[in-house]
Amino acid sequence: MTASSVASDLASLRLALGGQVLHDHPIGPLTTYRVGGSAALFAQPIDEEELLALARGLDGLVVPVLVLGRGSNLLVADGGFEGLVIALGSGFDSLSIDGHEVKAGAALSLPVLARKTVAAGLHGLEWAVGVPGSVGGAIRMNAGGHGSDTASTLVSVRWVDLTSGSVHEAPAERLGFGYRRADLAPTDVVVAGVHRLEPGSPEAGKATIDTIVRWRRANQPGGSNAGSVFTNPPGDSAGRLIDECGLRGFRIGSAQVSTKHANFIQADPDGSADDVESLIRHVQAAVEEATGVALRPEVRLIGFPDSETVAG
């Protein structure tokens, strides 16, 4: 996949889809880092029919594709992303509750899911109030916190395969969940998930949510960041290792290791995504040199040299 062939296929896709896509659309501001560049093409399908139309437009083309949820786990390079970014629109944020089963659209925010299920007298998703992501992103990354995760209550998943233009549904076990991962291809776009929850007291659930929110405010920094930058190595804490290396507060340009939690990197207002990426690499190298532990980024790096791209 050469730069010239991608540019040619992007031009073909733009011509084929016409008003369905925007050109050179800013996506850095759509992430929780609020820094970074634009996407060559941007689409926001409002339902499965429009998503499948995008898949048909991609047929026969080789185009990098990125599915953007709420951008809480992404860092987009200042130079942007030379591909198609898909952000699911309003038709994908539905929520229906039938007894103990909750069907949630992929674009629904996790805090909303947590609060609405608690209000309905259901227990099991309170942890989600502390994760500023979407249902689809949580399924793809098996998001979790406070002793639980997505896989703990998920029973089935619905997704669209962009490569074949087909819709699939499968039990959650099919996704082979692990720590912050699921067996979904990059071109599999999650559109909905079904959780089976336990009955619970709305008052007790609200109290749990309030506790999680207070803990988050007390222990995690605000501002422009993407949460934990590195996954915890087995039996240890990434934040502890970074702190041990004296990197708390360390800065490169407009990016700084948080003084509140060393596994967070914050970007200054109107800062540079490239500074954040340089700081991530610096922290990795310093920790490995000092401790022998190779930290693995939890944040997805998009548009940087050697970062992931997806063939559509």
Q: Which residues are catalytic?
A: 180, 228, 298
SS3 letters across the chain: CCHHHHHHHHHHHHHHHHHHEEEEEECHHHCCCCCCCEEEEEECCCCHHHHHHHHHHHCCCCCEEEECCCCCCEEECCCCEEEEEECCCHHHCCEEEECCEEEEECCCEHHHHHHHHHHCCEECCHHHHHCCCEHHHHHHHCCEECCEEHHHCEEEEEEEECCCCEEEEEEHHHHCCECCECCCCCCEEEEEEEEECEECCHHHHHHHHHHHHHHHHHHCCCCECCCCCECCCCCCCHHHHHHHCCCCCCEECCEEECCCCCCCEEECCCCCHHHHHHHHHHHHHHHHHHHCCCCCECCEEECCCCCECCEC
